[in-house]
Chains A and B, each alone.
Chain A
Amino acid sequence: MDVILFLVFAILAVVCAINVVVQTHPISSAISLVGVMGSLAVLYLLLGAEFLAAAQVIVYAGAVMVLFVFVIMLLNAGKEGKKGHSLMVQLLGVPLFVAFLALMVFFVQRLFPTTTMVHFGGFTGGGVREIGRALFTTYLLPFEVTSILVLIAILGAIVLARKEMD
């Protein structure tokens, strides 16, 4: 049961991810990205990290992507035209892609030895209590620094938007 669900949603995630790149219309790409986020949330759920799954849906699918869709709708962005590929892309594209995949497989094999297999539902430290404790004790400094980083980004956006208005 777990394996079937994993396969279904892993394939869905990959298909949606490819669709993000293939689609010519920005809205279709954005909706495909929502599909990726949703499938990832289900994968987290299968591994036993309920809080992470809910946060994934609330933050990425529910907030970030809604803003993306909103901006695309507001700008009324049209279809992207397909341009002819340059000679370099046609010649080197496929070999470079294969080489990249091979490197990824190699590093994954080296970095994560196969002795520690991941089990479905085997992750127990994913409750709200554990994550909250970890965020506010062990990882307090990185957490606060990240939030200040986000604040700086917001301030930057406001400054940029102001300049255009004057």
Chain B
Amino acid sequence: MHLPSVDSFIVITVIKVVVVFAVLMTVLAYLQWVERKVIAHIQVRPGPYRVGPHGLLQPLADVIKLITKEDLVPPHVNKPLYILAPFLAITMALLSIAVIPFGPKITVDGYQTYMQLTDLNIGVLFILAVSSMGVYGIALAGWSSNNKYSLLGGLRSSAQMVSYELPLSLAITAPLLISNTLDLRVLVERQAGGMWHWNILHGPFPQIFGFLIFMIAGFAETNRIPFDLPEAENELVAGFHTEYSSMKFASFFMAEYANMITVSCMATLLFLGGWVAPWPAEYGSSFVPVAIFAVAGVVALYHGMNPARRRDRLTFPAVGVIFLLIAAVFLLPMVQQWLLPLFWFCAKTGAILFVYIWIRGTLPRFRYDQLMSFAWKFLFPVAMLNLLVTGFLVALRP
């Protein structure tokens, strides 16, 4: 096994950056489609349906719409900061993906590489630092727009993000104590060996409360319902991005979704064991994706045999064959080493993202004073207590 030279290191890094960036952008666009579809079905309506089959081309249409719209800069804004704000928001939101590991060390054509852009030994701190810088984008957008609704939105969001950063950081600290590292990759490797080794279930103190605190604070950090006071439309028009149009508006939108993805990835890595399968491979966990895709394919084929509508005779068998092909790909031993970890990582992150959307469809918005007293009088003490108990039990661990 020879170590990669500098040249191949650069080539591999460029390839990884391109792949991760392309996938992230696609996921950002389609996350919004998934959100609209799921909320539509919660509210018993079809959702996007016109552009492409089941509205699948809707994100593309939205992107074209946003790019071609006129980029309006209102005359009363503070121009340098007005332009800087969306740039800051999107940069800080996309930066944190650089340290997130998607899988273990893999060997491609003799080269060993991590499924991660950079392996930072203080990855957790890096993500905290970057996400704490993300507040500036929103605060400056609200202030520089020179509009009272924007200013109120910016103020609300900066107060909220500063307050919820404390329980978030405390909730992150507890699993770090158990795993005894700040390196995200090592963190996952210490949770290997099945569900009962994940930090959410693993002793000395299972981090169930830590996970819940992290999720609640994460919702507040990303300004999502029920904590989306900064953009409460019935009070503040659109909050901090009222005066923004075209791609500047889109970058705030993308930043929000990128932050959602980061929080979900962090929850997966810290509490749910990252890319580790729920039970070891010797009990057949590597056949779970095969079984899921095969069953989906067979169901689709069955519906193709008994079509309810005319076009189902063509579409359902095609979808079924695609699912069966994916199931077959999961059986190939040479791609299994990276496809299986990727499957489990995406499944866990996707489940958390689904909870995000689900909660948006079910819960109403908080009142602002409730939001603040909840953070300081309930969430912060509970997070502190969780950290203290975890710390004591880790110290007593033989």
Contacts and interface: CB of A to CB of B under 8 A. Distances in A.
Contacts of B158: 66, 69-70, 73
Interface string B87-126: 0000000000000000000000000000000001110011
Interface residues of B, number: 27
A145 to B, nearest CB: 22
Interface string B145-185: 00000010011001101100100000000000000001000
Contacts of A61: 129, 132-133
A150 to B, nearest CB: 15
B229 interface: no
Interface stretch (B62-70, B135-143, B194-202, B243-251): B135-143
Contacts of B136: 31, 34, 66, 69
A76 B122 CA distance: 37
Interface in A27-42: 27-28, 31, 34
A63 B126 contact: no
A88 interface: no
Interface residues of A, number: 22
B192 interface: no
B81 A27 contact: yes
A99 interface: no
A20 interface: no
B180 to A, nearest CB: 10
Contact of A54 (B81, B122, B159, B165): B122
B181 to A, nearest CB: 9
B186 interface: no
A interface, over-half SS: helix
Contacts of A55: 125
A57 B132 contact: yes
A62 B135 contact: yes
Contacts of A70: 139, 155, 158-159, 162
Interface string A71-94: 001101000000000000000000
A67 B140 CA distance: 13
A73 B147 CA distance: 12
B122 A73 contact: no
Contact of B142 (A28, A66, A67, A73): A73
B151 A73 contact: yes
A62 B133 contact: yes
B236 interface: no
B319 interface: no
A66 B162 contact: yes
A51 interface: yes
B122 A128 contact: yes
B348 to A, nearest CB: 26
Contacts of A50: 120-122
A73 B129 contact: no
Nearest to A65: B136
B128 interface: yes
A58 interface: yes
Task: Specify which of A27, A54, A63 lies most central, judged by the most chain B CB atoms within 10 Å of its CB.
Answer: A54
Given A51-B122, A54-B122, A69 B139 contact: yes
A128 B121 CA distance: 10
B162 A63 contact: yes
Nearest to B144: A27
A58 B121 CA distance: 16
Contacts of A57: 129, 132-133
A70 B156 CA distance: 10
A66 B143 contact: no
A58 B129 contact: yes
Nearest to A27: B143
B155 A58 contact: no
Contacts of A66: 132, 135-136, 139, 158, 161-162
Contacts of A128: 122, 182
A60 to B, nearest CB: 10
Nearest to B161: A66
Nearest to A54: B125
A61 B130 CA distance: 10
B194 to A, nearest CB: 29
A84 B125 CA distance: 47
A54 B81 CA distance: 25
Nearest to B162: A66
A62 B84 CA distance: 17
A129 to B, nearest CB: 10
Interface in B219-238: none
B155 A63 contact: no
Contacts of B78: 27
Task: Specify which of B129, B140, B158 lies most central, judged by the most chain A CB atoms within 10 Å of its CB.
Answer: B129
Interface of A: 27-28, 31, 34, 50-51, 54-55, 57-58, 61-63, 66-67, 69-70, 73-74, 76, 127-128
Across the A-B interface, the 10 shortest Cβ-Cβ residue pairs: A62-B132, A54-B125, A57-B129, A58-B129, A73-B143, A70-B158, A50-B122, A54-B129, A66-B135, A54-B122
Given A62-B132, A70-B159, 5 more contacts: A63-B132, A63-B162, A69-B136, A73-B151, A73-B155
9 contacts: A31-B140, A34-B136, A54-B126, A54-B128, A57-B129, A58-B125, A61-B133, A66-B136, A69-B136
